[in-house]
Each structure stands twice: as structure tokens, then as C-alpha cells.
Amino acid sequence: MERSIRSCDVPEATIQRLPLYLEKLKLLQAIGVEDVSSRQLAESLDIKASQLRHDFHYFGGFSRPGRPYRVAVLVTALEQIIGVDHPVPTAIVGAGHLGQALANYAGLELQGFPLRGIFDANPKLQGLEIRGQAIRDLDELEPVCRREGIKIGVITVPASSAQDVATRLVSAGVTGLMNFAPTELKVPDHVSVRHERLTVGFMALSFKVKCGEARLAGEEPDAAV
């Protein structure tokens, strides 16, 4: 008899999987699937069914023993758990190539993260419109964030100004930061930061590629040390 949503104290690993579940379930819902078993859902995501049930177990029962899950029920519940049952106003700071690409990415709004502000210090970019949002000067950062109730700030500025931007966003009431700059950020405890590192992904991939080559070639890679 848990509370309806005992959200916190859920393992990090489970949190990471919740979005995957929601994504796949929305897809199933879109093509008209009404019921889905833990086995079916897990296999389509390449994980074990027991793990999926274990994850769901943190939030109480989504079904009854003997009955498969109802897709609609899961979608609604997961949206609420994740917090995208209501729109989460989001702002992007730094309108370079990456910032513009993210701003243009329609998926974000569809998944519940409407873009309510784009900022850049470069005057040449200011005024340019992306998906109905004009790029604003950095001076407007705090007032706009407060007015729009921005909850998540996306940092796509150079590493040198990332900490400054982060501090200003936090001071304007933003409690979630998505950091694309290659720098650690110091923020208060109540703020969550997620560091998205492109080059880390590429290098991890490179490692595995090299590893695969070595394994294929008789595990004698270069020998030139």
C-alpha cells in the first residue's frame, strides 16, 4: 500500500529507463496497441522482463497479476511520474549551431518540453526567429525565466561562460539544467544538472571499435608502445 507516487528514492538506473518505457509505449499507443505484457515490452527494448517489472514495482501496481498492462494506463502513469503530464517550460541559452538545432527539434515540444525562450549574447543573432521564438539578449534572461516559469535551462554556450549562465538561470528559479558545455557546474543542492557530452559518446564508441578490431585481428593491436 504505497502512496500513489513515492517518486523519490528511486534508483538512478531505473530513472534512466523510465523515459524509454514511455517512449516505446507512446509508439505502441500510436499504432493502436491496447495491451502489452512485460515480456513484449522488455524484449522490444532489449532488457529483461523481470527488470521492467522491478522498475514498475517502485511505483505500485500498474496492473493485476494475470492481466497484461494497459498501454493507456502506463502512458498516463509514466507521464505523471516523470512530470510531463503538464508542460515543462524550457529555455535555451546559447544560439550557436547546437542551440539552434535543439530549438528546431520538434520532438522536445512533443514530449512535453515547450520552448519558451532562446538567448544569446551575440547581437547579430538577436531577433532571429526559431519556431516562433525570437532570440533574445542575455539581459532578458532572468525576467523572461521568471515570467514564463522556466523549469529547465539548456546550456549551449562555450565552456567559459557556462558557469555564469548556470548561476543566473538558478537565480531566476530554474531547477533543472541540461549542460552541453564541457565543464562541471557548481549549483545548489536543490538544482539537478545533467551533463550531455557529445565527445564522450564518440570516444566510448571509438574504444569499442578499436577493441573489436583488435579482437578480430587476433588481439595484437599495434604493439608499438
Partner DNA sequence: AGTCATCTGTCAAACCGCAAACAGGATAGC
Partner DNA sequence: GCTATCCTGTTTGCGGTTTGACAGATGACT
41 contacts 62 by C-beta, under 8 angstroms: no
Cβ–Cβ contacts within 10 Å for residue 112, how many?
16
Using a 10 angstrom Cβ sphere, with 0-12 exposed, 13-18 middle and 19 or more buried, the burial of residue 156 is buried
Binding marks (x or -) toward DNA, 46..65, rule CB under 7 A? -xxxxx-xx-xx--xxxxxx
Q: Which 128-157 residues touch a copy of itself, going by CB under 8 A?
A: 151-152
CB of 36 to DNA, least distance (A): 7
Instruction: Give the residue from 176, 178, 131 showing the smallest Cα distance to 154.
Output: 178
Is 215 among the residues that bind DNA (CB under 7 A)? no
134 versus 203: smaller Cβ distance to a copy of itself: 203
Position 86 contacts DNA (CB under 7 A) = no
Number of residues that bind a copy of itself (CB under 8 A): 71
Residues whose CB is less than 8 angstroms from the CB of residue 141 and which lie 6 or more positions away in sequence, other chains included: 91, 93, 117, 119, 165, 168, 169, 172
Residue 222's Cβ-side half-sphere holds a number of Cα atoms within 13 Å equal to 4
C-alpha to C-alpha distance for 144 and 17, rounded to whole angstroms: 32
Q: Specify the residue for cell string 502506463.
A: 74
12-30 helix and 49-57 helix, angle to the nearest 10 degrees: 110
Compute how many residues bind DNA; rule: CB under 7 A: 28
> Which CB sits closer to a copy of itself, 139 or 182?
182
Does 182 engage in binding with DNA (CB under 7 A)?
no
CB 93 within 8 A of CB 154: yes
Q: Are 165 and 145 in contact (CB under 8 A)?
A: no
Q: Which of 174, 221, 182 is nearest to 200 (CA)?
A: 182
Q: Does 80 help bind a copy of itself (rule: CB under 8 A)? A: yes
Q: Residue 206 binds what, of DNA, a copy of itself, none (CB under 5 to 8 Å, by partner type)?
A: a copy of itself
Q: How far is the CB of 139 from a copy of itself (least distance, A)?
A: 25
Question: Which CB atom, from 65 or from 219, has the smaller least distance to a copy of itself?
Answer: 219
Pick what 107 binds: DNA, a copy of itself, none; C-beta below 5 to 8 Å, kind-dependent: a copy of itself
Which range, of 33-41, 134-142, 163-171, 181-189, touches DNA by CB under 7 A? 33-41
Instruction: Assess 219 for contact with DNA (CB under 7 A).
Output: no
Residue 107 touches DNA, criterion: CB under 7 A: no
Q: Which of residues 12-51 bind a copy of itself (CB under 8 A)?
A: 15-16, 18-20, 22-23, 44-46
Residues that bind DNA (CB under 7 A): 11-14, 36-40, 47-51, 53-54, 56-57, 60-69
